[in-house]
Chain A
Amino acid sequence: MNTTISIEPLTRIEGHARISIDLDEAGNVADSRLHILSLRGFEQFICGRPAEEIPRIVTRICGICPWMHHLASVKAVDACFGVKPPPTGALLRELCQVMAHINDKILHFFFLAAPDFILGPDADYSVRSIMGIVRADPELANRVAAMRKLGQQLLEEFAGRAIHPVAGVSGGFSKPMTKEERQRLQQGCRTLLEFAVFALTYGRDEVLNKYQNILQTLGRIETGFLGTVDTNGAMRLYDGDLRLMKADGSFTDFAPEQYKEHIKEHVENWSYGKMPWADSWQEGFSMDLDRPRGIYRTNTLARINICDHISTPIAQEALEEFRDLFGRPAQGTLLYHWARLIELVYTCERSLELLADDRITGDMIRHNVQPGAGRGVGHVEAPRGTLIHEYTTDENGCITSANMIVGTTHNLAPMNMSVRQAATDLIKNGHYDEGILNRIEMAVRAYDP
């Protein structure tokens, strides 16, 4: 008898999704799907609105990474109106973006992912959560909660809001940074860096190393990667060129404005989520596990793989260690977590680097903006991957069309493949239990969707 296993809701992830796994008569995996269940239609309802308002609207695409949408949008609006922010404005935007990355990585690693590792994939579901960690290691839980709060508070005190920000404005930033604010932020970011270095060591030695047996195998697939680098090939999050790498390690760099020449979006009729793929490889789209076509991944592992180096010292050292162990490009899906901790260190170091730049307290924060007709692409690296917003505007500077490729969606095809791989590997002859189903979800959770 054929059965379908359904896992719903997917938990400890941001979105709304369900996994279905079809078993054949022998009880082995015949097919599987990761369904995205909702759709909100931002591309439609921002139409007709004054473009300068859009950065305050598209934040609601995601409450976990609103700064990313805010800033990708502000960059797209800048491009529509033909304006660039003054250096201080650009520094302030990047600072907020990398600081938002810090908060996000602490949230994902400790609140969402770590329970699987610290408490174990087979722990009862009533224990396997942040509440379980609160009970098992209250000191760690308190420290994590305090760091998360500190990160959000620093952003909120300086920029008004941490969730659904408003301080990025077309032409620059809405308020300058005072000397006192700079000092407080420096102090806070030093504390966060200290914690990040602890988190990297703790995560590597106490958490991930204990799972050597699955680190490289669970949900493992072979794909290409997409991320952002500067002209020296250093990892970048706020701006730079896109780098699209094939599974064999060869790559092409291109300006974000050219994304349409490289990326198309595939649609399956069982999911509201689109699946971006690399059209420029000219091999078509296929999620076949043995012969995937056009499939690339984004998010931390991708950025760690595509960059030649990282521009800050502690993160660079961690990158070298990572490469010695896993090569380039590393393909193990759970390695996303390790890469996430390296990025956590980078974002703290980068925040301090930006704060050390004296221009950051300058007065010239925003250029005047003349709304008008145009077309613009804005991009940043969001925690979940390369985020692209493109708008066109009419002569009043109101939106006439929009296209958005959201970080998570790049990984939808790969997540489907990782689910298939993990399910095929773990479910045999109709045998499965809660621990096995949770391991399949762990393959998805690594992508932090």
Chain B
Amino acid sequence: MGIVSSITRRTFLIGSSAIAGGVAFGIFAARQEPENPLVATLEEGEATFNPWVLIDSEKVTLIAPHGDKGQGVLSTQAALIAEEMDLDWGDFDVSFGEPSGAYWNRGFAEEGVPFMSTDDSRMAETMRGIVGGITKLAQVQGTGGSTSMPDSYVKLREAGAMARETLKAAASAKTGVPVSDLKTEIGKVILPDGSELKYTDLAADAADITPIKDTPLRDPSEWKYLGKPMERLDIVAKSTGTMMYGADLSVDGMKFATVCVNPRQGGEMLGFDATAAEALPGVEKVFPITNGVAAVASNTWYAIQAVRAVEFDWGPAPYPAEQDAHWTALENSFGEENLDSEWRNDGDVTTVEGEKVEAEYRSPYVAHAPLEPMNAIVKVTDDGVEIWTGHQMPIFLTQQVAAVAGIEPEQVTFHNQFMGGSFGHRLEFEHIKQAVEVAMEMKGTPVKMTYSREEDFAHDFPRHISMGRCTGVHADGKVVGLDVAVSSPSVLASQGGRLGQGLPGPDSQIAAGAWNNPYGFDNYRMRAYRAPELAPVSSWRAVGANGAGFIFDTILDETIHAAGADPLEERIRLMDHEPSRIALETVGEMSSWGGELAPNQGRGVAYVESFGVPTAQVVQVTNDDGFIKIDKVWIALDVGRVLDPVNFENLVQGGVVFGLGHAMNSEITYSDGMALQTNYHAHEAMRLYQTPEIFVRGLENQPKMRGVGEPPVPVAAPSLGNAIFAATGQRIREMPFNKYVDFV
């Protein structure tokens, strides 16, 4: 396998500034524990043992620093603490906490190193440790890359155990009963005589005790909550309209606003005329902001009407105006000078004997378009800036806000909120910076800035386009070689560039899904080519594996069919990683692969590894008089351990719907520098009537804890395309598939 020789050539997600800080110092300093942010605001009688647990005489508060955009991590983070702490489920408050380096994300280290997730060699583990140290030093607190559970799994249980043992020590000091005779249950310490001391009653005593560390964690066989169905803590609020998202909050004296910024993303505003807008009812003020105009009004709708009434003179887009030119840029990037990295070169695919299959593939721009449009409430005063919104990167957010307002990050107070979806859009800062600009103009008055859906589509920072040029070689009924080349602009450079961070090495996301598969091909080459930056792009749920995974698995499927082999059996034969092979075998068994089908039916299988999760899927379609109907989907994923089986199934089914829906129906295309798709009518992905039955199996054979937010998505496109081929003989090599076939 193409393993890495030099770390400096390689990609680190967190950018060059952190690397330049020096690794040796980094490791030394990274051993220090960051300060517990809960200490600063501690009041008399309150106790905190670590950054995740706060107790006073009234209640227990847990801090769940990973943002919740629908994936349910608020609940699961709480469950990890509650499990060890013996809390009564739901009998506590949970907060997202404040931005703090104490909440640095260990999981990011996994994705920041250029090793396959299945590689647990000493070199790979050492590098993960080093990058982990840098992540800690750089205070990278964030939610993304399906890292919430990998990051939290051990440390939040340790936080719970620490709190429990410290509370027992407090109870022991108070009663004279030795700790070994004390038990804990549903938020109480139980004495041998059966009498009980509530945790809340012990808070004041516990505050004076040095937290007790290094308690061994419980064996999973003792778990009461984890691994079993739990009622999500947010489920009642989300079923009664009482959940308050950023878009719903209200702050005293608040006004409503919206913006309209050059729809040619990054283009300037050359001029505007707001005369008509200012005369509209309810409008208080219309004024320019960076590259556009804002309107403040007494109602969001008035503000939206106002910016629609403005006459604009927009400058050109800083990227090719027409979509065709974007594809041409990718076509022209398959040259030596654009080689970003040769990720794999096993055997010699250029000399292997056999019959060849050659094909070219395309994966389009796609919008995140979470249902809650981008928004933020901001209040600017002489003391600083207060902001309420849902975001995935709290510390970066305070830095971005401070830069716009010309203050220090410490003067920014950020209240993170539940998010009405994100899919990666809430990693971005444009809307945040605009909301701050608006509030600066309205100093002293809190302003809620909400995007119209059209503004949200125009400024979505879609998934990057990618293109594949591939050759498969087969002989004697077997796949004997694959040569996969992928070209795309760098999503990490685009995203990091907006934060002022460079990308010191290759972009792993050009190749993700294609390089990191643990098949044991005798001859496999995977080369990634970096096209120039085109439209600004951003991480879209599962990021690079959506394009490169589709490309990789489809050329594999084409070669298997050309060889006359069985698509599932040949994948299993080639697979060189036990948990991945089991995932393939599992979907085979779940779907009764090989069973009788009607002549107009077909099945496709695909395997893509995403964020460390081996994922296999079978899709069955029916060709109904020229209309394709997706009947059923079977999916098996190995996340190490399933912590909440109900939420797990929901997230995976949602990932399948998300992956299939966009593969079938959605793309963003540019004309005159603007995205042509302005609202959901032109980018609707999947609706209920197209939704198949989806059967989910969580596997627990791999040694590491993994997250499941993203991994179910990339297998969707190849498994569907492979199924359509099986049913119709038509091979589709470009998403969205509805360009080539009609769906029911």
A binds B: no
Query: Chain A interface (Cβ within 8 Å of chain B)?
Result: none
